[in-house]
Structure 1
Amino acid sequence: MATYLVTGSARGIGHELVQQLAAKPDTEINTIFATSRAENARLKALTEQYPSRVIFVQLTVGDESSMRNAVPIVETVLKVKGLKGLDVLINNAGVVGSAYASEMADLDEIFHVNVTGPHRMIQLFLPLLRKGNEKKVINISSSVGSITRQPRYKDFPAAAYKITKAALNMLTVVWAQELAKEGFTVISQNPGWLQTDEANAHADLPVATGVGQILEIARKTGQEGNGRFLNIHVPGWEKKPGLHQYDGKDLPW
């Protein structure tokens, strides 16, 4: 029975991750720490529906004191439940930021959340992850962070997002190399372009589809996947024309 911690759980991909994890059998999932800046109505509904399984922890990615304060809370819950450690950390929280390079006055701020934030989450929760059975870190990246694929995304207006996701991919590789001898699996995942809200209603896939694939990849990927940049697989999307394809293969850096 695995224990998960998910950042950015109040909405979008993060909320769907918690919801799908909570619905899995007791033999597969024990506890999900759903972290967010605040507990909104949707997240509160999940904690009330699964009171012994979904634990809300206030945590703002990028806020050092908030991240530090969350560690002993998670550790205490694990001890009370008689659990050894944390099995899977999913670094999901992120922000988009400036659309064009000429507008990037906020790059430092976006970098702090999208790159430094996940880095500090790994550092701070590493002692608990070392005590876990699965020892997995899943960094939610994006295919638009691929430098190789930038010619096709040239007109996609998300400059700060692209830059920070490329940096997050390197962060994944560096941590994967450092923790490999300890049996860790650290991967970047492309979740696909998902219909997370009204602004993304025209996106490729329902959020449930992408999240289901994220969790399936996280479940089945072991040390052979350490340090890789993995794409989701959606039947019919392997060679579909357009910006995005979802073939389940490694994405180029």
Structure 2
Amino acid sequence: MASYLITGASRGIGLELVKQLLELPASQVSKVFAVARNVEIDAIKELVQKHSDRVIPISASVNNTASLEKAVESVKGKLDGQGLDVLVNNAGINGLTTGGIKGMEVDQLSQILDVNVIGVQRVTAAFVPLLEQGTQKKVFNISSALGSFALASYIADMPTDAYIISKTALNMLTLRWAQQYADAGFTIAAISPGWLRTDMGSKDADLSVEQGVSEVKRLILESGKEKNGKFLNIKAAKTDDMMWEYDGKDIAW
């Protein structure tokens, strides 16, 4: 049995991942902590009604240290003396940049970095003591292929500068954690979930959220220490209308 904590669980990838994890037997997934600023939404309430003994809503914001401290205590109390097994840092925000890099507002960059990078640091640092007590010691950061230096030339004109910068920074943050916690038995990796049809991804994206998250779930379940410090890509059959290729191979940083 494994316990999971998912941030950004009120919508999109996070909500769908909570749903798909709960579809697995309790012998495989014992508890799912669904972390979001607002856990009073209908979708989370429905999951609680259906899986009252396995899903636990936790109200917290990744850019609020005090709320995360309270969240740690809540999770600790619900683990009944056990450790936390898997952390998925999924919470993130996006934003368009008008006028190119010169026109990128410093306030926008600061806000996106605070959630997408510093937020991941806050959450991971807060929960790593519980992860150290867990049996799997897995941390997965939901990143994006947009953050890859190797692919930068393909997205030079994409008007999401602050978001792209944040995902590149997140990748290095992931790698630093992976390197420094390898000897402690951790598996820490970044996952590019693909361009998915969520509110953030838009209706024009390559894949449905269900398809992309199913692959994210597979990577989380199957990845062991051999994937520590890697940038993982999902696998999906290529069609002519897809922008990206999902070959299941590690992405170059």
Q: TM-score range by the shorter chain?
A: over 0.9
CA contact (8 A) 1:98 1:107 kept: no
Q: 2:155 & 2:199 partners in 1: Cα distance? A: 22
Partner of 1:95: 93
- Residue type at the aligned position of 1:47: V
Whether the aligned pair in 2 keeps the contact of 1:98 and 1:104 (CA below 8 Å) is: no
Aligned-residue offset at 1:201? 1.1
1:133-148 paired onto structure 2 within 5 Å = 133-148=135-150
Note if 1:58 corresponds to 2:69: no
Q: Which runs of 5+ in 1 are unaligned?
A: none
Q: Return the alpha-carbon distance in structure 1 between the equivalents of residues 189 and 89 of structure 2.
A: 10
- 2:127 is matched with which residue: 117, 125, 140? 125
> Which stretches in structure 2 are left out of the alignment for 5+ residues?
none
Q: Is the 8 A contact 1:7 1:91 kept in 2?
A: yes
How many residue pairs match? The answer is 248
Deviations along 1:186-227, one digit per CA (max 9) or x if unpaired, are: 000000000113971111001011101111011111111000
Give the aligned residue type for 1:120.
R
Maintained 8 Å contact 1:152/1:243:
no
Query: Who is 2:175 aligned against?
Result: 173
Deviations 1:74-132 (A, max 9, x none): 000001xxx51100000000001342421232111111110011111111101100010
Is residue 42 of structure 2 the alignment partner of residue 44 of structure 1? no
Distance 1:146 1:11, change over 3 A: same
Deviation at 1:17, TM superposition (A): 0.5
| Contact 1:3–1:87 (8 Å) recurs in 2 | yes
* Alpha-carbon separation, structure 1, partners of 2:6 and 2:242: 31
State the distance in 1 between where 2:148 and 2:200 align: 26
Aligned to 1:32: 32
CA distance in 2, matches of 1:55, 1:78: 11
Q: 2:83 aligns with which of 82, 85, 98?
A: 85
Percent sequence identity is 43
> What TM-score do you get using the length of structure 2 for normalisation?
0.94
Provide, for residues 42-95 of structure 1, a one-character-per-residue CA deviation record: whole Å limited to 9, x for no partner.
Answer: 11111111101110000111111111110000000001xxx5110000000000
The answer on 1:8 being equivalent to 2:12 is: no
Give RMSD over aligned pairs: 1.4
CA distance in structure 2 between the aligned counterparts of 1:243 and 1:152, rounded to whole angstroms: 11
Q: Distance in 2 between matches of 1:33 and 1:73?
A: 10
The one-letter code sitting in structure 2 at the alignment partner of 1:58 is: S
Retained in 2: the 8 A contact 1:60–1:67? Answer: yes
One-letter identity of the residue aligned with 2:45? K
How far apart in 1 are the matches of 2:201 and 2:179?
A: 37
